């Protein structure tokens, strides 16, 4: 009896992988492939359906079965350490108010946890209070996050309504390339057809996104990262020079796209000597104001003048 059950278990596992691979099939074809009767195959398919494999049957001469969009992956054997690592990778996402796969990650975490042996669940429960991955909680919603990710994967151009910093809503045509989370916000790096260059869009400011044209070859994420870090030559650029204390280096590098600009010395302090877009001057001025005594901008002079202007505004605000 035990051998028969093991044989059926292996058949069900192989059947799960087969239907996921085929996506569309007839019962008779599967029965012949697995060397069982059509009645046995129907029972096996019913068992897979009860286990959660999303099967859909169609009647008629051209009918059969098909697997719906959400396919089920065959079971994977994890070690105890691997299981804990995967669980906490999913668990860390809970700090983000918006995720492109929010419902799916919650479902995966729940399935993963509930199907672990009791002793491993106890170990994870003990680790929950001792391990965490913090991220600022933001109130801003990003309703188009999933669509932006799907467009990046498919190489799809989108027509979006984007809220600029001044509150005005702009119409843009973009090709998303990659999404990333930073400081609690989601960002989308995309090629902007209006600007004829790569731009970074804050996803919570994308109010609406609709497909625009046929799917194209997806943009290369590595090329996009290089463009964002200054490899693109479009637009006027200025030479930024600065000195940072060790604490200034740490805070500067907290913005991942700024980190490559820093040359770190043996004592942990650093220097910055890089070309940046002139349009980013207000950002850097505010950054140096925030860094305070941990950084000194040495040039260009227009950046130093902007820093002085902002500091004067703050002094005036707190003048008696």
Q: What is the mean pLDDT of each run of 10 residues along the chain (320 residues)?
A: 52 78 80 87 82 68 62 63 78 74 72 75 78 73 89 90 90 90 85 86 93 78 60 66 96 86 94 89 93 95 95 87
Helices (H) and strands (E) in the chain, counts: 11, 12
pLDDT score at 61: 54
Answer whether 172's CB lies under 8 Å from 194's CB: yes
Per CATH, is 2-67 categorized as 2.40.30.10? no
| pTM of the predicted structure, to 2 decimals | 0.60
CA dihedral sign of residues 181, 186, 191, 197:
negative
Answer whether 215's CB lies under 8 Å from 156's CB: yes
pLDDT score at 26: 85
Nearest CA to 231 out of 257, 255, 256 is that of 257
Both tokens assigned to 136: 């600022």
Let me know if 197 is exposed, middle or buried by CB neighbors in 10 A (0-12, 13-18, 19+). middle
pLDDT score at 261: 92
* CATH architecture for residues 145-229: Roll (2.30)
């Amino acid at each position: 009896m035990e051998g028969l059950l093991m044989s059926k278990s292996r058949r069900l596992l192989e059947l799960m992988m087969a239907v996921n691979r085929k996506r569309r099939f007839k019962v008779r074809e599967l029965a012949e492939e697995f060397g069982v009767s059509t009645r046995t195959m129907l029972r096996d398919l019913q068992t897979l359906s009860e286990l959660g494999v999303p099967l859909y049957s169609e009647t008629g001469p051209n009918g059969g079965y098909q697997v719906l969009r959400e396919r089920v992956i065959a079971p994977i054997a994890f070690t105890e350490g691997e299981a804990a690592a995967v669980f906490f990778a999913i668990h860390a996402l809970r700090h983000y108010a918006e995720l492109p796969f929010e419902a799916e990650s919650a479902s995966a975490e729940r399935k993963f946890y509930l199907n672990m042996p009791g002793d491993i669940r106890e170990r994870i429960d003990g680790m929950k209070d001792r391990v965490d991955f913090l991220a600022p909680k933001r109130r801003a919603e990003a309703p188009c996050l999933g669509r932006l990710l799907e467009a990046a994967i498919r190489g799809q151009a989108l027509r979006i309504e984007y809220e600029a910093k001044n509150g005005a809503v702009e119409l843009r045509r973009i090709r998303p390339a990659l999404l990333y989370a930073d400081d609690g916000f989601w960002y989308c790096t995309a090629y902007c057809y209006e600007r004829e260059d790569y731009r970074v869009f804050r996803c919570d400011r994308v109010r609406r996104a609709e497909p625009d044209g046929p799917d194209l070859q997806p943009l290369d994420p590595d090329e996009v990262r290089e463009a964002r870090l200054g490899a693109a030559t479009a637009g006027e650029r200025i030479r930024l020079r600065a000195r940072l204390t060790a604490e200034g280096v740490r805070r500067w590098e907290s913005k991942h796209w700024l980190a490559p600009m820093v040359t770190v010395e043996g004592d942990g302090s650093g220097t910055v000597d890089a070309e940046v877009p002139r349009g980013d001057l207000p950002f850097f001025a505010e950054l140096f104001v925030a860094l305070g005594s941990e950084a000194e901008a040495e040039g260009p002079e227009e950046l130093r003048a902007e820093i002085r202007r902002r500091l004067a505004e703050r002094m005036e605000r707190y003048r008696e």
